[in-house]
Structure 1
Amino acid sequence: MPCVGGAEVRGLRLGRVCGVPVVVRRGWAAVAALLTWAFEPVVDDQVPGLGAGAYAVSAAFAVLLYASVLVHELGHSLLARRLGLGVTRIEIGPLGGGSLLAQEPAGRRHEAAIAAVGPVCSLVLGALGTLAAGAAPDGGVARALALELAVANLLVGVVNLLPGLPFDGGRVLVALRSGGPGGRLRGVRSAALAGRTLALVVAGAPFAAALAGWTRLDLALVVLAAASGAWLWVSSAAAARTSELRLRVPGLRAGALLSQPLRLPGDTPVSEALRRAGGAGVAVVDGLGRPVAYASARQLRTVPELRRPWTAVGGLAAPLGPAVTATLGGRELLDTLAGSPAEAYGVTAGAVDGTAELVGVLVARDVAAALGAASQPVAYPRRAPGARLRTSRKDVV
């Protein structure tokens, strides 16, 4: 499925396919081995007498299945590139794949087309597999592989066209519902609601079939349907949350999120810092009164109450990350912060250099809260044990 991203690459790089970088995520081999084991009885049933060779045919099916996933994702990527969008890479994971685009599609039609072309490619592969299976001789390896690949691709194509997140059909629905009042946010929420509705339908399907008299209620089928429905519910919510976060990214500005925490020397007792800061974080300053570190109220409160009068703030504070300008925003701001994780950053009014004066502090949790992800953990750097900050006894407010 297509999405916007450019995070760190983790996995095996396979080079380029049609000019698009391809990465295989960790865990692929384990799932491929599981598919090989699961498909072996099917091969042995369709092509008797292969013996141990059935595992080789089953392994070939697993490889061809992932190749089909690659074709599906190439459909997304090549059309996106044809429409003028950059493609960062294709990722093939243990349970599917993804096409990472460098930017959002320019319009709703482009977005819908890019999302829909992947399932169409899968359906085309399914049709070709069906034709190949019909032309292959009965009881042969070629017929068995073609038939199973046809079924798998037709299933992938149909399922991905379902109109709900996280499927490609859900992204088509996002594009179709993004016009008018509410814009894209309405489209995302509509597709997320559709995805959760599909989750309930999947989970309740065995009971509905049993009530209709189509089949008997089977415990294994109930467990499988419940697990599939739960996965779909969680995945739909996660896809919606990610889409909503991306909508908030362009509006981020360091200057709008900066704070002016109480400035204190590093040898200030924690008890005094908590009293004076009124439950907020504090900035630790150097001998010239410049903020060099930051301690959140949460960190200060981790000190037992009896030890607070004897514990210095400087021993708890984490050094400020690289300074950023107040005008920095959007994706550039997030990329800058992600490149140098810290609890807080200095903010300057003008160019960032050695003489730039800090006009405030940008706290990482405030950025997360602005994105609606305040509950997400933030990676903070740890100072080496015994490390000290150069501070002054002068209290700068």
Structure 2
Amino acid sequence: MSSSSAPHHAAPKRAGIPLGKIAGIPVYLAYSWFIIAGFTIIAYGPAVLHDFPYLGGWAYFVAFAYALLLAVSVLIHELAHALSAKAFNWPTEKIVLNLWGGHTQFQNFTASPGRAVVVAMAGPAANFVLAAALAPFVLSRSFEGVADMLANILMWANFLIGIFNVLPGTPLDGGRLVESAVWKATGSQDKGAIAAGWSGRLVAVALFLWFVVLPLLRGVRLDITFTLITLLVCGFLWMGASGSIRHAHFRSRLYLVSASGLAEPAVGLPNAASVADVVAIAPSGSPAVVVCGPDGKPQGLVDPRAAAAVPHEALATTPVTAVSHALAPGAYVPEWSKGQELIQYLAKLEGGEYAVVDHNGTVTGLLRQQAVVTAITGKEARRGGRA
């Protein structure tokens, strides 16, 4: 169970089956949830049938009811995240219940170490409260038969969900404790996220050693189902932690991304111009020449090699559009664009070249995808890739 943020103007993606809204927050059931539901039925159905043979095939419906109760527990966990965030005016985009439990997707917000901890810890706290609320009924044996079994399992499941989520590493909620502590000490959220990511990797390795390697060294025969679950959980933790580290490194370099700072010099020409006009302002292929439509908006880019191949006697009669290729629709950005906002906008565009314009709409530069990717990753962009 984790939380993440997304730009408020990002294109909506289908999250799964809509379950409605709670406190104005859309809730979705991801299709991957049915995998864990199926696993629960297969794993617990025979056990229910063994304890209550009179149920017959209904034992598997009881196992499915357990899967539904777990989903409700996860939903309560995620709602605790969302409602505590709402207290700080952090807008929640959606809650998704999925294969790994669930996650709460936030829109853009301004966080602080203390508030991040409160929102993160609200989830496990809700599970502890639910487990504590069930404890008196379970311990006093207030229920009988199947109801008693479900209440017992649900109590311990919520207790374990709470314990598991406070482990100190991303993508678990406890990772926020590490992140916030380092953030508070260094003043850098990115350093905190990287530390939490490495802590999450250590948690994954520790769980693998404790539940798989040590039993093997002791000669204990491993349960196949439990071992498979352990490996899946450790893999999930490792991937989530690694993703957090990569994302933090990405964020730490965003200050380098600036349309004006990364753009190469360029000038604009109307699409009624000729190649002779191109040669006059860019005789050696520099600066870049952007072709603009009648409305003044960039629509194409001159290919210097194609322009150089035009015979001298045909320069004045060859239109500039004959030696240019089209830019993607909307492939121009204000010269003051920078950081995350610029990255998010470019990610929506096709192609890898973008005109840079000033306040008057005049072309001042040409921003290439490769320059953006190099700035944020330190690596050369692959041809045909997206920024």
Same fold (TM over 0.5): yes
Q: Does 1:4 align with 2:5?
A: yes
Segment of structure 1 superposing worse, 51-60 or 99-108: 99-108
Which of residues 228, 238, 245 is equivalent to 1:240?
Answer: 245
- One-letter amino acid of the counterpart of residue 348, structure 1: V
Partner of residue 209, structure 2: 204
Supply the distance in 2 between the matched residues of 1:67 and 1:365 (Cα, whole angstroms): 46
Per the TM alignment, residue 80 of structure 1 is displaced from its structure 2 partner at its CA by 0.6
8 Å CA contact 2:327–2:354 kept in 1: the answer is: no
Partner of residue 349, structure 1: 358
Segment of structure 1 superposing worse, 60-69 or 360-369: 360-369
User: Structure 1 residues 56 and 369, CA, compared in 2 at 3 Å: closer, same or farther?
Assistant: same
User: Structure 1 residues 108 and 345, CA, compared in 2 at 3 Å: closer, same or farther?
Assistant: same
Query: After the TM superposition, which residues 176-325 of structure 1 pair with which residues of structure 2 at under 5 Å, given as runs?
Result: 176-181=181-186, 183-205=188-210, 206-211=212-217, 213=218, 216=220, 218=222, 220=224, 225-249=230-254, 252-260=257-265, 285=291, 292-293=299-300, 319=328, 321-325=330-334
The C-alpha deviation readout for 1:211-238, integer Å capped at 9, x for no partner, is: 4x4x625384766655543432222111
Supply the distance in 2 between the matched residues of 1:263 and 1:65 (Cα, whole angstroms): 60
8 Å CA contact 1:262–1:277 kept in 2: the answer is: no
Greater than 6 Å deviation, 4+ residue runs: 261-265, 286-291, 313-317
Supply the distance in 2 between the matched residues of 1:44 and 1:331 (Cα, whole angstroms): 54
Q: Does 1:336 align with 2:337?
A: no
Supply the distance in 2 between the matched residues of 1:12 and 1:365 (Cα, whole angstroms): 38
Q: Does 1:370 align with 2:375?
A: yes
Per the TM alignment, residue 27 of structure 1 is displaced from its structure 2 partner at its CA by 2.3
Partner of residue 76, structure 1: 81
Secondary structure of the residue aligned to 2:191 is helix
Secondary structure of the residue aligned to 1:100 is strand
User: Structure 1 residues 314 and 151, CA, compared in 2 at 3 Å: closer, same or farther?
Assistant: farther
Supply the distance in 1 between the matched residues of 2:36 and 2:297 (Cα, whole angstroms): 54
Secondary structure of the residue aligned to 1:16 is strand
Per the TM alignment, residue 373 of structure 1 is displaced from its structure 2 partner at its CA by 8.2
8 Å CA contact 1:320–1:345 kept in 2: the answer is: no
- One-letter amino acid of the counterpart of residue 372, structure 1: T
CA RMSD in angstroms, aligned pairs only: 3.7
Supply the distance in 2 between the matched residues of 1:105 and 1:145 (Cα, whole angstroms): 41
Supply the distance in 1 between the matched residues of 2:363 and 2:189 (Cα, whole angstroms): 37
Segment of structure 1 superposing worse, 235-244 or 360-369: 360-369
Q: Paired residues, what number?
A: 350
Secondary structure of the residue aligned to 1:9 is coil
Partner of residue 177, structure 2: 172
Structure 1 residue runs of 5 or longer lacking an equivalent are: 269-275, 297-312, 381-397
Structure 2 residue runs of 5 or longer lacking an equivalent are: 276-283, 304-321
Secondary structure of the residue aligned to 1:328 is coil
Secondary structure of the residue aligned to 2:55 is coil
Secondary structure of the residue aligned to 1:2 is strand
Secondary structure of the residue aligned to 2:331 is strand
User: Structure 1 residues 148 and 371, CA, compared in 2 at 3 Å: closer, same or farther?
Assistant: farther
- One-letter amino acid of the counterpart of residue 327, structure 1: W
